[in-house]
Structure 1
Amino acid sequence: MITINNEPTAYTPIFLGTTQHSLRLSLEILIMVGMKLNDEIIETYNVSVSAIELGQLPDIGSEIAIDEITGSELSGFKAKLKQSDAKIQNTASTELEKLVDLKNVGRYQLLKGQKNMTQELNVPTLTNDNLILMRQMLGVTQKELSVTMGINEKTIRRIENKEQGISERFVNKLLAVYPELAQIIEVQFDWVSLTFPDLTSKQVIDDVLRLQDNLFLERPTSQNFYTREMAFAGEKNIYIQDFAPFKNPETQAIEQKFGTTLYLTGKGTRLFEKALLEQSMNWRNFFEKARQYRGHLTRLDIAINDKWGLLNMNDLVKAVQEKRFWSKSKSYAVHGN
C-alpha cells in the first residue's frame, strides 16, 4: 500500500536503482521506483529521497519502505519513507560512496594533471587568473584563503596581480586545504551496447546482467531485424532485443534463434551500476564477463562531468562546427546550450 498524490493505491513500491550521474555530497538522491501489482510492474516513478533516511540502498527488485509519493512530471516527484522503517543516521550510507567510486571510471586533477586512467590528459598549468576564479567559486576572500593555507595574504595578492608566479609548493598547499580541487573532472559511461551472437535475451538477463526475470516486460519489436525485446520495468533504459521463439514447420518443435543485442541507455547505465555494486563488480569486470560470452561492444558513450569549467563549451561547439574532430560518424549535433 502506498499513497500517490493523496490517493491510496494497492501498489507495492519496488526499488529499481539510482538514476543520477553524481551522488557526491547529495543529501537527496534520485531513484527509480516501480509500482508492483499482482507480480507485475504497472508504472514507474523517478523520485528524490533523503539519502540519510534511506540509509542502505535496497537490492534491485526488492520492496522499498516508501509511504507516500507527491509531485508531478514537471516539478519532479518526492518520496517519503515510512517513519517506522526509516533508519535515521548522521551520515548517508557508505554504500553510496562505493557507488560514487564505481561510477567514475576516470578522475582528473585540474591543478597537477594527475589521473587514474592510462591515457594522458593535456592539463593546463595553474595561472593567476585561474586562482582568482577558483577563489571566487570557493567563496573565500584573499585573507580567508591566506589564513586557510597558512601563508601571507600579500602572497595571494601578488599572485592575483600577476606580480608573482605560482610555485609547486603553493599548488600542493592549495590541494591539501581544498581536496575537492583534486576531483575536477569525472568520466563516466553514459551508453553501452553489446551484441551477443550466441545468446537469447533470457540468457543475457540471467547470465550477463544477473537481474530478476520478472523485472522485464516482453513485447514485440521490428527494430534491427529482431522480433521481440525484453525491457527492464517496461521502459527503454535497459533492454535486450532478440528473435522470438518459432515453431519449426518440419518438426513442429518450438525453437529459439540465437543472437541478441543489449542496450544500456544513459539512464540505464546508472540503474545498472547498482546491480554491479550488488555483484561486487565494476565496469571492467562486466566487460570482461561479456567477452566470455563472445559479446562485443557496438557503442560506448562517455560523459564528462566538468565541475569547475576546465572545458570551454563555446570552444568545443566551434571545433565541432569547423569539423576539427575525428569520428566514424558523418553527422553531428549541438543540443541546446
Structure 2
Amino acid sequence: MLLSEVLDALAPLDGARIVDGTFGAGGYSRALLKEGARVIGIDRDPTVAPFVDALTREFPGRFAFVAGPFSELDALAGERQVDGVVLDIGVSSMQLDQAERGFSFMRSGPLDMRMGREGETAADLVNTLSETDLGNLIFAFGEERASRRIAKAIVAARETAPITDTLELAQLIEKTVGRKPGAPHPATRTFQGLRIAVNGEFDQLVGALFAAERILPEGGRLAVVTFHSLEDRIVKRFFDQTKTAAPRSRHLPYSAPVEACWAPVRKAVRAGSAELGRNPRARSATLRSGVRTSIAARPEQAAGLGVPGFRRGAA
C-alpha cells in the first residue's frame, strides 16, 4: 500500500538499513531491497516463511529476518545500525486471502484471527464474553454504532450452539442490522474490533512507535501506513507532541515549547486514483512519516495518544 510514497518518505535508500516491522508477504522489503537498501524483516506470523526464504535467496547478504512482534523491533534488530523503519498496520492481504486464518467475513473459515497463532481466538471472545463486554469491545475497537444489537444477537445465537465459523458470524450480523446497497459489509466493523482485541493491536502499535523512536538516530526516518481512523489518530498524535502535551493555563508563567522528537517529512498521504484502481483495499490507507531529531526518546506511554479503551467487566 502506498509503496512509492513510502519509498519517498524513507529516502535516501541506497546503502541504508531499514527495519520492515510488518513483513507480511515481503512487498515493502522487496521494494526497499531493489532500491539498494539492506533490510531487516520482522513478523510474528509463522506463515511468512516462504516469502522470507525467497528474499533470502534473491538478496543474499542484504536481507535478514527475525521472528517476533513488531512492538519489540528495537530489541529484535539487536545492535545493528538502523536508518529507517516502516510499519504497515493491521491485517495483510495475505492473511485476508487465507480463509483458514479466519480474518475474512467473505469466506467460510474458523473464527480464529490470531496473527501469531497463540492466545485467545475470536471464537473464544464471541462465545465467552458477556453481552455487555462484547458490545463494549465491538464499539470501542470497531466503532460500530449497532454494537449493542449485534452483541445481543450473538449471545442469543450461541445459546443454541457456539459460533465458530466466519460466514456464520457475518450472516448473523447482516441479518441483525441489514445491508444497504453499495455500503461496506455490515460485519466489517465487528470483525475489525474482534481482530484488534485478539491481537492486542493497539498495544502493539504504541510499542512499535516508541521502539522506533528509541532505535532511530538523528536523521532516521519512520513511515507508518494505517487503515482506519483509530490507528491513524494514534500515529498522528505520536508524531505531533503538541497533541499530547498537557494543557497549560494562560495565567501560568511562560514555558518553552515542547522539544519534538520528530520533524515531519510531509503531510499525511492517501491513496490516489491510480492505486485505488489497482488495489481497492487501499481506499482507507493513510501514510504518516517523520524524521528523528536530536531530542532524547520519550518514555513509552499510551496516555495522550487517543488509544481506545476496553476492559472486561466494565459497565
* TM-score interval (norm. to shorter): under 0.3
TM-score for the superposition, normalised by structure 2: 0.27
More helix by share: 2
More strand by share: 1
The structure with more radius of gyration: 1
